[in-house]
Structure 1
Amino acid sequence: MSDLVIEQPVLPKISPATDAEIVTYLRRSCKFAEIADLTERDALILQLCEQYEVTVSDEEWQAAGDAFRTEHKILGVAETYAWLARQRISVEDWSEGIKVRLLARKLKAELFGEAVDSYYLQNREEYQRVALSQILVLNVTDAMKLAKALREEQASFCALALEYSKGKQSQENGGFTGVRFLNELLPEIAQAIATAIEGEIIGPIHTKLGYHILRVEKRFPPELSETVREQILDTLFEFWIQENSKAKMLDA
């Protein structure tokens, strides 16, 4: 019997999408409003910077660009241009994006920098960090069996996560999801682990993602780090925008 030869289909050659085609895709995929909101937010930030006379120096701009390249490991000229090509943007596009993000950071500090300390003192428990592991499954029966195995049979959390967890990060890392701020977690999870002791098996906890079995590996006391300061500035800025938006709607 001769070997059966199956002819493989030939993929047509597709040209890189134009800006107009990308806009059309965004409309079709119902993502246009999301991008429009972000575009309008940038425009608002630039107007506020002009209003409050917030500017960035060339030195600050250069330093922010260098920090971005270091973070994304695009240190050499060749690597930088290759990255820009993959992103389909020009040096000018990238540079202006760096400037807008830097202006946004300085604007938030200008408007709310003096309020950070008091906000932190009032809400410091939200900025507690935990090293957290989880197993995520999709039905309660499996969740109850796994929780029982962990509590009563001293099963390996890592082994069960590798075998059963549906969460990509937890499945790949034996359950470990990293060190997280409580305010970054889903509300149900943050509430469940708020008073848990290290090593305790918690759950199953039901969320929109499924059923979570959790274990707090380590707790870290709250501290007003630079990361927390940036988060608080973002929070205060968003509150301010939302309140102003509501006021304008009521006046309309």
Structure 2
Amino acid sequence: MVILEGNIIQPEEIIASLKKDIQLKNLCYSVLYHKIITEAAQNRGITISKYEIQSEIERLKRDNNLVENTHYLTWLTEQLIAPEDWEESICNRLQAKKLAECLFAKEVEKYFSENQQDFEQVLLYRIVVPYTQLAREISYQIQEDEMSFYEAAHLYDIDTKRRYSCGYEGKFYRGDLDQDFAQILFKSRPGEIIGPLKIEQTSHLLLAEEIIPAELTPEIYQEILNHFFKQWLDAQLKLLRN
């Protein structure tokens, strides 16, 4: 039973709501993953100390501007979480993190080394217009310094969102791009205009503003580690079905 805004909500009502919102399946997967992680951690002698839990609580309090204990307890109450439940949740997360490190820490650097090129990144801008002739005219104006690539994107791109962002598409890993497309981008010089390229029924001008060399940063390390860990969890889940 949960009490929210003075209203009592029964467990069966919560389950019914999760079903209606198509969220129950994901929640059940989380329960199964937790069981797998707990058993695997216990089998490997992985433990979480009270000090580790408290250190993580203090970090989260700082990150969420909840340094004052009264603010922290009020926040927990608003989230319908008791302090001991929150501590258990943190313990579970630390346990999963330690297990992932135990299983795959050595594999991360090896995987990165073998696939280093895929982790090169490009800061990509794009202009998409309906006609090749228009794309050529825009390219000419940019090369003649009559306007910048970003101004042209703001004026001519057929996509409203890209117009507002002056052609910005985002930062992409080489491995996430089509192989031929990636080869064109990563062979270009930063700031060089690529195209027009005919893609489906539209013409594209591209600009790789920055090519970022592959580096095993903490963020990329965690991405690779999470990838291995998720694959392992899915494999363990299949074993439970058999």
Identity %: 24
Matches of 1:42 and 1:145, distance apart in 2: 57
Aligned counterpart in structure 2 of residue 225 of structure 1, from 206, 217, 232: 217
Tell me if 1:58 matches 2:47: no
Match of 2:89 in 1: 97
Paired residues of 1:205 and 1:213 also in contact (CA < 8 A): no
Mapping 1:89-168, distance limit 5 Å: 89-133=81-125, 141=130, 151-154=139-142, 156-159=148-151, 165=159, 167=161
The Cα of 1:212 is off from its aligned counterpart by 8.6
Tell me if 1:69 matches 2:61: yes
Match of 2:23 in 1: 31
Aligned counterpart in structure 2 of residue 43 of structure 1, from 35, 44, 51: 35
Which protein, 1 or 2, shows the higher relative CO under an 8 Å CA cutoff with sep ≥ 6? 2
Residue identity opposite 2:22 in structure 1? C
Paired residues of 1:69 and 1:75 also in contact (CA < 8 A): yes
Match of 1:239 in 2: 231
CA pair 177-98 structure 1, distance change in 2 beyond 3 A = farther
Root mean square deviation of aligned Cα: 3.9
Matches of 1:131 and 1:82, distance apart in 2: 42
Q: SS of 1:44's equivalent?
A: helix
Tell me if 1:216 matches 2:208: yes
Match of 1:88 in 2: 80
User: Where in structure 1 are there 5+ consecutive unaligned residues?
Assistant: 1-13
| Deviates most, 75-84 or 89-98 | 75-84
User: Where in structure 2 are there 5+ consecutive unaligned residues?
Assistant: none
The Cα of 1:81 is off from its aligned counterpart by 4.0
Matches of 1:215 and 1:85, distance apart in 2: 50
Q: Deviations over 1:108-134 (max 9, x none)?
A: 111112222211111112222333345
Q: SS of 1:47's equivalent?
A: helix
The Cα of 1:26 is off from its aligned counterpart by 1.6
The Cα of 1:191 is off from its aligned counterpart by 6.2
Paired residues of 1:150 and 1:201 also in contact (CA < 8 A): no
Q: SS of 2:124's equivalent?
A: strand
Tell me if 1:192 matches 2:184: no
Matches of 2:134 and 2:84, distance apart in 1: 53
Paired residues of 2:41 and 2:95 also in contact (CA < 8 A): yes
TM-score relative to the length of structure 1: 0.67
Matches of 2:119 and 2:41, distance apart in 1: 29
The Cα of 1:24 is off from its aligned counterpart by 1.9
The Cα of 1:171 is off from its aligned counterpart by 6.7
- Paired residues in the alignment total 225
Q: Deviations over 1:2-60 (max 9, x none)?
A: xxxxxxxxxxxx86683543332220122221222122212221121112111122222
